[in-house]
């Protein structure tokens, strides 16, 4: 018999659970489906929120050929074979076939390159599913040709509706009487993941000895502890645990950070995902208070790829403890966000004439760059001149914070600004 999650997979948007911001009335994907004008896109979200299901519903609704590949098991040859089949199934005035690639972030650069031509020429409509940030995992030429739609973890309300549907409509589960006396543990362990929720229900059902099942927090907890392999530990509390891990580093608690690291390792988390988060933390939370943190985090990432697993846990632990015990500053993080907000508000302010590049004779005649002062010709490699646009003069984006490293940087910067006499060369 098929697993409950497969038996209960919806076949139309009306039965689809969650993601109303994408498939609800007048939402972007629903409008696209109803119009029949589908463009290539990526579905980005945590496991168990309906990425594969949504792709299949779209293909069924539009009545177009549906090809699917798994990035885990498919190579470049498989991609080319599917594209060739898609070409042969496309006829005059027919809709383009859909090529669905699960875990597209696992595709190598060459595999992703092999998709470009088919997407550009309209041979297929590509739908990719990923749990990782497409900005980091999808090559730029491919990403620029696709929209990215973010799927959210299912809400408690969504999950409880799913439970009701499962217990009332599934041919097996409706053989018994269900009473949801308590739902706290059920919702907590599901963690916004529909597949986990259905796996838990199936586990409770398989252990039932009577026709009446009363769901309590204790029963859910006991069943999961007794049957750990029934629970998808690769995704267990994925977002909660990585959040706790980063916040422990930010809060300078090395013991808590190591504990959450151990939870992720024990749960089978992708080591590269952990290493990537350490690099982000080094930039966002330690920043200029200890610039060496970013170097060490990057070294950890490189070392992990060289030594593999399980030895890779050691550089991960080293980097985790180093970041947790480092001084903290988010001044760079705040500075770029403040600058981005300013740019969005003020638009494209003109570049000052003396800072402009002058590769042509005409530009030189227009005085592009003629009054620019070359900083290396001056003491301490500094000369006072305007670098911001005219409308932004004296605007400050970087605000140094109270730590030794930024204090020294600020002192040196302020002292340097007093030196502007040209050297004799």
Over the chain (425 residues), what is each successive 10-residue block's mean pLDDT?
84 88 90 87 89 90 86 78 79 72 85 86 89 84 90 90 91 89 87 87 85 88 63 54 88 90 82 91 91 93 87 92 91 88 86 80 77 83 84 85 83 70 44
- Res 233: pLDDT: 46
CA-to-CA distance for 354 and 366, rounded, in angstroms? 11
- Res 424: pLDDT: 43
With beta carbons less than 8 A apart as the criterion, state whether 323 and 249 touch: yes
- Res 232: pLDDT: 46
Contacts of 97 (CB under 8 A, 6+ apart): 64, 65, 66, 67, 86, 89, 90, 124, 125
pTM of the model: 0.56
CA-to-CA distance for 24 and 14, rounded, in angstroms? 9
């Amino acid at each position: 018999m098929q697993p409950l999650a497969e038996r209960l997979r919806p076949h139309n948007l009306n039965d689809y659970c969650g993601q109303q911001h994408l498939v609800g009335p007048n939402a972007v994907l629903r409008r696209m489906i109803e119009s029949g004008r589908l463009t290539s896109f990526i579905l980005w979200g945590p496991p168990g929120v309906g990425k594969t299901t949504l792709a299949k519903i779209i293909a069924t609704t539009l009545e177009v050929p549906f090809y699917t590949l798994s990035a885990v098991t498919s190579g470049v040859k498989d991609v080319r074979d599917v594209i060739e089949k898609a070409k042969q199934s496309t006829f005059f005035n027919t809709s383009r076939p859909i090529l669905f690639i699960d875990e597209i972030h696992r595709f190598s650069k060459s595999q992703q390159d092999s998709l470009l031509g088919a997407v550009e020429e309209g041979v297929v409509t590509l739908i990719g599913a990923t749990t990782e940030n497409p900005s980091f995992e999808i090559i730029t030429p491919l990403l620029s040709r696709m929209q990215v739609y973010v799927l959210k973890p299912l809400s408690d309300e969504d999950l409880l509706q799913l439970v009701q549907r499962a217990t009332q409509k599934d041919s097996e589960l409706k053989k018994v009487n269900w009473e949801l006396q308590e739902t706290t543990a059920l919702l907590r362990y599901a963690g916004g993941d529909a597949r986990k929720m259905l796996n838990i229900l199936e586990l409770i059902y398989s252990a039932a000895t009577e026709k009446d099942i009363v769901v309590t927090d204790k029963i859910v907890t006991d069943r999961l502890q007794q049957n750990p392999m029934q629970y998808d530990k690769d995704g267990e509390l994925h977002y909660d645990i990585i959040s706790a891990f980063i916040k422990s580093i930010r809060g300078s608690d090395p013991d808590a950070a190591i504990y959450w690291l151990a939870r992720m390792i024990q749960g089978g988390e992708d080591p590269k995902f952990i290493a990537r988060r350490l690099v982000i933390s080094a930039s966002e939370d330690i920043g200029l208070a200890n610039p060496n943190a970013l170097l060490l985090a990057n070294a950890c990432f490189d070392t992990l790829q060289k030594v593999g697993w399980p030895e890779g846990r050691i550089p991960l632990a080293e980097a985790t403890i180093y970041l947790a015990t480092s001084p903290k500053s988010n001044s760079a993080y705040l500075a770029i966000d403040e600058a981005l907000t300013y740019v969005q508000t003020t638009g494209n302010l003109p570049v000052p004439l003396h800072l402009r590049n002058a590769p042509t004779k005409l530009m030189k005649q227009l005085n592009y760059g003629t009054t620019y002062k070359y900083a290396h010709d001056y003491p301490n490699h500094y000369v006072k001149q305007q670098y911001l646009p005219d409308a932004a003069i004296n605007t400050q984006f970087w605000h140094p914070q109270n730590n030794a490293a930024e204090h020294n940087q600020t002192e040196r910067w302020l002292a340097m600004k007093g030196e502007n006499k040209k050297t004799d060369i």
